[in-house]
Amino acid sequence: MILRPTPQERAMKVKDVMVRALAGELSWLQAADLVGMNVRSMRRWRRRLETWGMEGLVDRRFRPSSRKVPGRVIAWILGQYKSRYQGFNVRHFHAVLKREHGFRYSYSFVRQVLQHGGLVKTMRPRGRHRLRREPRAMFGELLHIDGSVHRWLARSPEERASLITIVDDATKQLLYAQLAEAESTATIMEALTAVFRRCGLAQALYSDRASWAAHTPVRNEPVDRTKITQVGRALKRLGIEHILAYSPQARGRSERVNRTLQDRLVNELRIHGIRTIEGANRYIADHFLPGYNLEFGRAPSDPASAFVSLGSVDLNQILCFEEERVVQKDNTVGCEGLRLQVPKQRGRTTCAGLSLIVRRHLDQSYSVWRGTQRIAMYDSRGRLPAASKKAAPPTPNFQTGEAA
């Protein structure tokens, strides 16, 4: 006994074949052969698809609704994906269509069109991800900082860069994202400086155990708490708790953000033809971050903010490289291969033997301190300003930088 397909089954087959023809995978002659009809009938069915949409193929007595999607919209979606947005995941593709083309149809509709067109795989839906830990209640209560090394510039595939990101735990907002040549102490300090100046001081910072975050004598072993890093010293002085993660699973939220960025940011930089780190950073700040936070950000459970105002705190004197040095007999101190000349101080015949603090700032300038007294400032080559060579500078307040 031969079982013939029901009208519904035949309509489903015709629909799948015609969507593949619209996507360009099949010619209309091949489509007619696959469904067993002549070219004239195929033209008639194509007109029904373009006039009434998908439902026009199911029932000849179908009465169109003003809410049904025309066939030209389906063809436009398939054409956009194939011509410009190839490689985007469906949710990202739908978000870009809404943002840049004023698209008004739902995500599920776009997913079905791309799946029927054979442009994306049909995947089994995953269950809802269950978080082991509830997010912090207030904005600024906990920040996640991380660096992700990846080929971010698809137009320059030979160049690998590190994306430094800072994510708020309560709101999921991406507070900072910039590409750098490497994840280093300097790039981490620049990221923290940018966020602290804009938002204030956070309560806690969560990170992995990279070399800038902690000293680990043996790999995968506990860190040496007796040896503090430059970033650790700065966070301690600012009163910010530094929490270290001991496994990738412990940094699940940072890892998920990195996966999302590797999927979305790479494609957006590619379609805009961006080839340099400088151009990418401008695009991220001006276009990508506002759209990302609008889509993924959420309101905290507690509307109060945990960020603390900077007040008179000078971040330039805290988020910097700081070392203790002893003044030599020629009244110089060494720092990173440079000899910094200590100017003559009032009331002292020489500064030799004094223990001073030498700081290299993020703008590559230097300063020398004795306690809260600034002895001198230098440019990136270790040279004193002309005025400092003649007389000792006034003593500023450590926190405000103003003369005492």
In this predicted model, what pLDDT tens digit does every residue of 33-78 receive, in sequence order?
888 888 888 888 888 777 776 666 655 544 556 667 788 888 899 9
pLDDT at 218: 78
The predicted pLDDT at position 126 comes to: 63
Q: How do residues 223-250 score in pLDDT, each as one tens digit?
A: 888 889 999 999 999 999 999 987 766 6
Cα–Cα dist 365/384, whole Å: 10
Phi (first) and psi of residue 83, to 5 degrees: -85, -35
Residue whose token pair is 């957006």: 268
Q: Which residues contact 29 (CB under 8 A, 6 or more apart)?
A: 39
pLDDT, position 60? 53
Q: Residue 29 above 60 pLDDT?
A: yes
SS3 of residue 15 by DSSP: helix
At 289-348, the pLDDT tens digits run: 999 999 999 999 999 999 999 989 999 999 999 999 999 999 999 988 899 999 988 888
99 alpha-carbon distance from chain centroid: 19
Structural Rg of the chain based on CA atoms: 31
For 151, other C-beta atoms within 10 Å of its C-beta total 13
Give whole-number Cα distances, 298 to 90, 139, 362, in Å.
21, 10, 33
pLDDT at 58: 59
Contact 41, 2 (CB under 8 A): no
Q: In what order do the strands lie in the sheet with 373-378?
A: 321-326, 355-360, 366-370, 373-378
CA 345, CA 340: separation in Å to the nearest integer? 15
Of 84, 127, 88, 126, the C-alpha closest to 110 is 88
Strand segments, DSSP code E, in 185-238 are 204-207
CB atoms within 10 A of CB 384: 18
Residues sharing a CB contact under 8 Å with residue 257, sequence separation 6 or more, in sequence order: 144, 146, 165, 167, 174
- The average pLDDT across 73-87 equals 90
pLDDT at 402 over 60: no
Strands (E), 275-346: 321-326, 332-335, 338-341
Domain range list for the chain:
7-116, 143-296, 320-389
Q: Which fold has domain 143-296?
A: Nucleotidyltransferase; domain 5 (3.30.420)
Angle 75-78-83 (CA atoms, 0-180°, nearest 5)? 120
Full-model pTM = 0.70
Question: Which are the contacts of 133, defined by CB distance < 8 A and separation ≥ 6?
Answer: none
Q: Can you tell me which residue has the tokens 């961006």?
A: 274
Tens digits of residue pLDDT in 349-379? 888 999 999 999 999 999 999 988 999 999 9
**Which pLDDT tens digit goes with each residue over 146-189?**
999 999 999 998 889 999 999 999 999 999 999 999 999 999 99
**Arithmetic mean of pLDDT over the chain:** 85
pLDDT, position 297: 93
